[in-house]
Amino acid sequence: MPTHSQTLSFAVAALAAALGSPAAQAGQVEFGPDNGPGPSPAIAGQILPGHNLGGAKPAAAQAKPVQSAAEQAKMKAYLASRVDRAAVHVSLKTAGGRAVDCVDIHAQPAVKNNPALFGQPIQLAPRSAQPVFAAEPADNIAEPLLDKSGAQVAGCPDGTVPIPEVTAEDLSRFASLHDFFAKVPERLGTAQAPQTAVQPPYHWGPSSQHQYAHAYRYVTNWGASSNINVWAPYTELNSEFSLTQIWVVGGSGGGLQTLEVGSQKYRDLYGDYDPHLFIYSTRDGYNHTGCYNNTCGDFVQVSHSIYPGAKLAPVSTYNGTQYEIQAQWFKDMDGGAWWLQVQGQWVGYYPRNLYNTAGVVNRAAEIDFGGEIIDNRNLNLHTSTDMGSGQFPGAWFGKAAYQRLLRYNYATTANPNIVWYTNATGLTPTRSDAACYDISYYNGDPNWGSYFFFGGPGYDYYNCR
């Protein structure tokens, strides 16, 4: 971990061998052991785990889900109506070939879908006064946009915003439109529990489908921010994802409401093995509301160049250059929207009228930072999907994934004015099972503030079965 940051694009451009550890300097820990040999050669578009010391695990065949005729009709109608073609000024493409439509900002899907926005001006930035976030300068965090000639462009023309295409092929990887929108498809159900008891030296990993290594705190807040280290973790199944993110949360149970942003690798959703900038927000505990990356038209896009769903590149490498993005959720005071900022640029917002007083309509009640994976228990064994870089926290900078400069916005009765970008101290680190994925959280570094390392390789023959 560096004693100072130097940005190259959106990189922390330094080799671990040349750098010191702020935590060690602060007298907290020393460098941990190397938990693995680093990336292995690419196969089928991915980096093999390489660090599962118990041996490789066989992969299962990955068939597409079966869609009913009724669901196919819903998907066809969705594709036909999602974007008003008359509002498309020009269509661009990413270097990977995905179309990105430049849509009239006043005719984008969120305006069409939210009656409260009809005829209303689109905000281009929060109304409340706040200090400029001291983000490190960074460019090219996302895959470049190209015009018809193949020339790179800075973004969509003035007055338009980028809306990435959703294709029939994208939807074909899901059994229903609801599954496409959901944080994880219903068809995958609940992961099976181990069928037989085992004796030492074997250790069953957790059988829950969602598994975490994260650090949280219940505190009234108006948003949170972090610098997120970007990797392309191995995922065993196309239906499994690995992500690192910020959660801002209010409510509970079926009334849970969240704002989420981070880096995610999810082959079924994106159609590739690359990490992508993602957002998600549920208004009812992930039951019926929410979608990834504005695909259901709930997020008002205002940036002409950065958009949810964009591929992130380049990515960090083992013992090599480390890349990160700065992201935050910002509540425009009690009466305003929830704004997303990435790399110091306002990307857009979730309108206030989507939420309620039991949730996050005015403010949030919890901040949370960390990693999450999906385990679909291929062969009824724990997944070998990586979290973070696939290394445990003790591997340290250049090997293990991290988040740093963890901050949040808060106020108290004694000090009712919102205090911006306060170091997120007092977080509680927790994990589903430290033998599979772990987290180490620290405070007080003069350059990294509050931060943590996290991750792990998942399946291990002896320790995480």
Q: What is the DSSP string of 261-326?
A: EEEEEEHHHHSSSS-EEEEE--SSTTSS---STTTTS-SEE--SS--TTPBB-S---TTS-EEEEE
Tokens, residue 37: 């040999």
CA distance 283 to 297: 14
- Residue 4's Cβ-count burial label (10 Å; 0-12, 13-18, 19+) is exposed
First to last CA, the chain: 32
In which order are the strands placed within the sheet that holds 364-374? Answer: 276-280, 257-266, 241-250, 364-374, 210-221, 428-431
Cα separation, 302 vs 387, whole angstroms: 31
Cα 264 from Cα 243, distance rounded (Å): 4
Active-site residue, 260 included: yes
Strand, helix or coil at 155? Answer: coil
Quick check: is 372 catalytic?
A: yes
**Rounded Cα distance, 217 and 383, in Å:** 28
CA distances (Å), 71 to each of 66, 113, 117, in order? 10, 21, 29
Which two tokens mark 136?
């490190």
Euclidean distance between CA atoms 51 and 48, whole angstroms: 9
Q: Which of 71, 236, 260, 366 is catalytic?
A: 260
**Catalytic hit among 240, 324, 366, 372:** 372
Instruction: Find residue 369's DSSP bridge partners.
Output: 215, 246
| DSSP 8-class letter at 23 | H
Among all residues, which ones are annotated catalytic? Answer: 260, 372
